[in-house]
Amino acid sequence: MSDEWIIIILMVFMAISGVAIARLHNLFAVVMLTGIFSLLGAAAYVVLDAVDVAFTEAAVGAGISTVLMLGTLALTTSEEKPTPPRHMLAALAVVGITGAVLLYGTLDMPHYGDPNAPVHHHVAPRYLEESEKEIGLPNVVTSVLASYRGYDTLGETFVIFTAAAGVLAILGRVRRPKRRNERGQTTEETLK
Amino acid sequence: MNEKLILRVVSKFLIPYILLFALYVQWHGDFGPGGGFQAGVIFAAGFILYALIFGVAPVREVIPAAFTRYLLAVGVLLYSSVGVASLLMGGNFLDYNVLAHEATHGQHIGILLVELGVGITVACAMITIFCTFAGRAELNAPEEEEED
């Protein structure tokens, strides 16, 4: 019971930070709030006993992506350009209808913690019962990720490799430190 | 940057423990929460913290750009080569049972190597992405840094 209250309180905090993110124009504050949003999500995962997911969410969502967003702000600007509000009613209608459709979609889904949910009757029981014997590791999450679903994890590793390679291909070309030449141009300007 | 005495001292105190914790998460992922992905991110976070406070250039002296770029591929290759090794030893791709005489022992070896590959690639990817972004920021505005 207390678990449910903790989840509800965390969800309320997440909703508040979500609304604040939408309304704020100072992008630095927005980046900080997205980090807080991820940290609250990580706390919710801990309550749901998904420690591995919480770990990843805290490290990637709250840590690395916040730092990367700050790096982007350092390259661009930390103040959003004010745009005059237009078509506000139409936007509200689109958001409202989308939200209603999403809520309608969840009606078909099994309830939280439902033991009859299909996800608990496919391969999960076998993983939980047999992985100790077949793999010999106490952490089932690691067994599933690295062994049963090793092919998927290989794909994910390639995705991360590709992401870094993409960033290098787009941004990683200028390696010389900025020095002004006799005409006052920077190295980057002369390279263009 | 020189005025941030508390940040400099505290980060220098914390970074060794962050890296140690990353190694713990890497090798203890079979038994507790964690694994290659989380360990890689935490390991990279240690270097990124250093880069945030002392600048990208000192970090790049420790781990040059070429080094992380090579290791980026080494991690993926290590993962794939475990799969190829199990193929060569008569099993399916990424079937670790054939890697040792005993099936669970083979699984242990396979998972350890695979997680190490993930950890190496993730750590290098994060360091590469951050240093590329931050290095560009320092390239564009070296004057602003003194105002901070």
**For residue A1, how many other CB atoms are within 10 A of its CB?**
4
Q: Can you tell me the ipTM of this complex? A: 0.86
User: Residue A100 falls within a domain, yes or no?
Assistant: no
Residue A13 pLDDT level (bands cut at 50, 70, 90): very high
Confidence at A178, pLDDT banded by 50, 70, 90: low
Residue A113 resides in a domain: no
Q: Residue A102 falls within a domain, yes or no?
A: no
B67 reaches A (C-beta below 8 A): no
Domain count, chain A: 1
The pLDDT tens digits for A19-34 are 999 888 889 999 999 9
- Per-window interface: B 2-21 vs A, CB < 8 A: none
Q: Does A110 touch chain B (CB under 8 A)?
A: no
Q: What is the mean pLDDT of chain B?
A: 86
Q: Is the pLDDT of residue B137 over 80?
A: no
**pLDDT surpasses 60 at A132:** yes
Q: Looking at the domain assignment, is residue A117 inside a domain?
A: no
Task: Indicate which of B47, B80, B92, B136 best probes the interface with A, i.e. most A CBs within 10 Å of its own CB.
Answer: B136
Instruction: State which residues form the domain around A1.
Output: 1-80
Chain A hits for B79, CB-CB cut-off 8 Å, are: 153-154, 157
Chain-chain contact of B48 with A64 (C-beta, under 8 angstroms): yes
What per-residue confidence (pLDDT) applies to B142?
52
Interface test with B, best of A53, A55, A77, A158 (most B CBs within 10 A): A55
Q: From CA B148, how far away is CA B138, in angstroms rounded?
A: 13
Residue A184 backbone class (left: φ over 0; alpha: ψ -120 to 50; beta: rest): left
Cβ atoms of residues B130 and A71 within 8 Å: yes
Chain center to CA of A63: 11
| pLDDT attached to residue A1 | 64
Q: How does pLDDT run across A137-177, given as a tens digit for each residue?
A: 888 888 888 888 889 999 999 999 999 999 899 887 755 55
- DSSP states of chain A: -HHHHHHHHHHHHHHHHHHHHHH--BHHHHHHHHHHHHHHHHHHHHHTT-HHHHHHIIIIIIIIHHHHHHHHHHHS-SBPPP----SHHHHHHHHHHHHHHHHHHHHTSPPTT-TTSGGGTTTHHHHHHHHHHHT--S-HHHHIIIIITHHHHHHHHHHHHHHHHHHHHHHTT--SPP---TTS--HHHHH-
Within an 8 Å CB–CB cutoff, is residue B43 touching chain A?
A: no
Tokens representing A116?
């009859």
Which tens digit of pLDDT belongs to each residue from A54-111? 988 998 888 888 888 888 888 888 787 877 778 888 989 999 999 999 999 988 888 8
The predicted structure's pLDDT at residue A185: 52
Is the pLDDT confidence value at A9 over 90?
yes
In a domain, A46, yes or no: yes
Q: What is the mean pLDDT of residues A114-119?
A: 80
Assigned domain for A122 exists:
no
Identify which has the larger pLDDT, A192 or A110: A110
Is A74 part of a structural domain of the chain?
Answer: yes
Q: Is residue A64 part of a domain?
A: yes
pLDDT tens-digit profile of B70-127?
999 999 999 999 999 988 888 888 888 888 888 888 888 888 999 999 999 999 999 9
